[in-house]
Amino acid sequence: MKINPVNTSGINPYQQQARRDVQQTASNTRKTDKVEISSEAKQLQKTSRFEQERSRKIEALKQQVQHGTYQPDAEKTAEGILKYFTGK
């Protein structure tokens, strides 16, 4: 006996519908990217900003010293020394 595969579409209609549903949901879902920055990375980022600002200030002070235009405030310097040694 020979079976011809002429009308085999009605054999498993549930599986065919399930395949169509999966294909439709796959095409309807949008793929999105999500980035999360850890608290450590945020802290490092803040630190690098402070380092950049500090580097700019140091460079400006170097330029002032080289050109002879640096005028430190003696009172602020003395206050800073006292605070350092007294721990206040």
pLDDT digits (tens, 9 = 90+) for 46-81: 777 888 888 899 999 999 999 999 999 999 999 999
pLDDT score at 7: 64
Is the pLDDT reported for residue 87 higher than 90?
no
Contact 69, 60 (CB under 8 A): no
The conformation of residue 9, written as its DSSP 8-state character, comes to T
Q: Which domain holds residue 73?
A: 40-86
81 within domain boundaries = yes
Domain count within the chain: 1
- The pTM (predicted TM-score) of the whole model is 0.39
Stretch 24-32: mean pLDDT: 68
34 within domain boundaries = no
Percentage of residues of the chain with pLDDT beyond 70: 78
Contact 64, 70 (CB under 8 A): yes
45 within domain boundaries = yes
Is the pLDDT reported for residue 10 higher than 70?
no
